[in-house]
């Protein structure tokens, strides 16, 4: 396997920048997920690594080699696509063996490699079928197998699960993680699904408008988002946002608006002291809202009205209005509230996030 290094890499279509001078290092054997909304540049970045898109500026290295001028076939990478990319007239065996045959690998070695990969992926009994006789999940396993048998330095995945139903996506997430653990592979994985990003990657790279917004482990990005955009994109349900001002009330700083007043914990007062009288946006994760029946001395309370109740079995989501703020909270599965009922919420203010209202940047 190999390290991937991008230095000041950009991609332009005419005068329009799609990827703008990004720097990124994917360590040997690391699983890195590029995540962001449609059009953020994540797939273009992946395709520049693969050699399927020409680099406008900057340098891409795979291992010690600069690969800017190398065609895709010479970069020793394997790419798994969203639409599988299987040859419909070939059997599963022939689809998986195609790349090895193009490289003039011996027949005995091809047979051994394809059989071993098919056994690992649970598709050995499908080797004589053609793609039209396979389910979506089986086709994706064939596409994975075709990548595995090549034994490349780098695996690249471009939204490979987006065509599958929810259950199959969960199964295939596990398969790809097992693949990484077994092969100790260097993997770059593109998705717009933050659940895939959180559950699969060693590190997440959040992108927007062709720029990297934040990099870190899943929990680093979730717990310490650098901006309102990152906070809103990572987490399901998304973080709640409430516009306030920072005001001095008696002996402490508070987040204040016409509907609520939440005290700033002493440990956070220093970072907010320079924002007194200025508008800020506070962020509250849905799991940090609880019924006031469960509140402690460290909590503040918010009065709200329940609008929608969504029982999910393992939990209940409540969609609520707190004056001019819309809040979504995660509650126990046995929550008994109904739409239209008032509810008093408890929030641990120590877990609040604060963002500059003008720039969206987290206040550290």
| Tens digit of each residue's pLDDT (9 = 90 or more) over 264-298 | 877 788 888 888 999 999 999 999 998 887 655 55
pLDDT value at residue 271: 85
CB 57, CB 9: distance < 8 Å: yes
pTM listed for this prediction: 0.89
- The whole-number average pLDDT for the span 290-314 is 82
Instruction: Give the CATH class of 4-225.
Output: alpha beta
Highest mean pLDDT among 77-81, 150-154, 181-185, 214-218 belongs to 214-218
SS3 344: strand
Q: Which two tokens stand for residue 254?
A: 């508070």
Would the pLDDT of 19 be above 90? yes
d(CA 144, CA 319): 40
How does DSSP assign 247-290, residue by residue?
Answer: EEETTEEEEE-SS-EEEPPHHHHHHHGGGBTSEEEEEE-GGGEE
Between the alpha carbon of residue 279 and those of residues 224, 249, 301, 331, the distances in Å are: 20, 16, 21, 30
Would the pLDDT of 166 be above 90? no
Q: Which two tokens stand for residue 364?
A: 């550290």
CB 48, CB 60: distance < 8 Å: yes
Would the pLDDT of 149 be above 70? yes
d(CA 180, CA 178): 5
d(CA 163, CA 136): 8
- The whole-number average pLDDT for the span 238-267 is 88
- The whole-number average pLDDT for the span 33-62 is 96
- The whole-number average pLDDT for the span 224-253 is 92
Would the pLDDT of 62 be above 90? yes
CB 131, CB 142: distance < 8 Å: yes
SS3 198: helix
pLDDT value at residue 321: 95
The percent of residues in the chain predicted with pLDDT above 70, rounded, is: 98
- The whole-number average pLDDT for the span 202-210 is 97
Q: Which two tokens stand for residue 62?
A: 């795979």
SS3 292: helix
d(CA 194, CA 229): 13
Chain Cα centroid distance, residue 40: 13
Rg (CA), the chain: 25
Average confidence score pLDDT of the chain: 91
Domain ranges of the chain: 4-225, 240-356
d(CA 346, CA 64): 54
- The whole-number average pLDDT for the span 247-270 is 85
CB 29, CB 188: distance < 8 Å: no
Q: Residue 39 has what DSSP assignment?
A: T
Contacts 24+ apart (CB under 8 A), 268-275: 268/350, 268/352, 268/354, 271/354, 271/363, 271/364, 272/246, 272/354, 272/363, 275/246, 275/354, 275/356, 275/363
At CA 197, angle to CA 184 and CA 50, rounded to 5?
A: 60
Would the pLDDT of 164 be above 90? no
Residue of 103 and 91 predicted with greater confidence? 91
Would the pLDDT of 141 be above 80? yes
Query: 240-356 has which fold?
Result: OB fold (Dihydrolipoamide Acetyltransferase, E2P) (2.40.50)
Would the pLDDT of 258 be above 70? yes
The percent of residues in the chain predicted with pLDDT above 90, rounded, is: 64
Burial (CB < 10 A; 0-12, 13-18, 19+), residue 309, is middle
- The whole-number average pLDDT for the span 247-265 is 87
Closest CA to 91 of 133, 127, 144, 117: 127
Q: What is the largest CA-CA distance in the chain?
A: 82
How does DSSP assign 69-104, residue by residue?
Answer: TS-GGGS-EEEE-TT----TTS-HHHHHHHHHHHTT
d(CA 81, CA 161): 9
d(CA 75, CA 5): 13
57-62 sheet: strands from edge to edge: 16-26, 4-13, 57-62, 65-66
Would the pLDDT of 158 be above 60? yes
């Amino acid at each position: 396997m190999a390290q991937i290094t991008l230095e000041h890499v950009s991609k332009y279509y005419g005068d329009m920048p799609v990827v703008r001078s990004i720097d990124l290092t994917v360590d040997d054997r690391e699983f890195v997920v590029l995540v962001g909304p449609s059009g953020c540049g994540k797939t273009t970045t992946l395709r520049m690594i693969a050699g399927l898109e020409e680099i406008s500026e900057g340098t891409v290295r795979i291992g010690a080699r600069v690969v800017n001028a190398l065609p895709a076939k010479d970069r020793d990478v394997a790419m798994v696509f969203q639409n599988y990319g299987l040859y419909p007239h070939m059997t599963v065996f022939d689809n998986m063996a195609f790349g090895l045959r193009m490289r003039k690998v011996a027949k005995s070695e091809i047979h051994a490699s394809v059989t071993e990969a098919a056994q690992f992926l649970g598709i050995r009994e499908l080797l004589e079928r053609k793609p039209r006789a396979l389910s979506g999940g089986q086709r994706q396993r064939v596409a994975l197998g075709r990548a595995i048998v090549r034994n490349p330095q780098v695996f690249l995945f471009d939204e490979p699960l987006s065509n599958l139903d929810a259950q199959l996506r969960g199964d295939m997430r596990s398969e790809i993680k097992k693949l990484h653990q077994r092969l100790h592979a260097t993997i770059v994985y593109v998705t717009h699904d933050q659940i895939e990003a959180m559950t699969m990657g060693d590190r997440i790279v959040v992108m927007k408008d062709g720029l990297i917004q934040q990099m870190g482990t899943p929990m680093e990005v979730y717990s310490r988002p650098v901006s309102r955009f990152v906070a809103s994109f990572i987490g399901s349900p998304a973080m709640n946002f409430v516009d306030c001002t920072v005001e001095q009330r008696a002996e402490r700083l508070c987040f204040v608006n016409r509907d609520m007043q939440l005290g700033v914990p002493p440990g956070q007062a220093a970072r907010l002291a320079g924002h007194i009288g200025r508008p800020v946006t506070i962020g509250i994760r849905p799991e940090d809202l609880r019924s006031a029946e469960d509140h402690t001395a460290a909590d503040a309370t918010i009065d709200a009205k329940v609008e929608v109740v969504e029982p999910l079995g393992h939990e209940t989501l409540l969609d609520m209005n707190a004056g001019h703020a819309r809040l979504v909270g995660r509650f126990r599965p046995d929550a008994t509230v109904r739409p239209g009922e008032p509810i008093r919420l408890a929030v641990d203010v120590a877990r609040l996030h604060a963002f500059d209202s003008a720039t969206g940047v987290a206040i550290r």
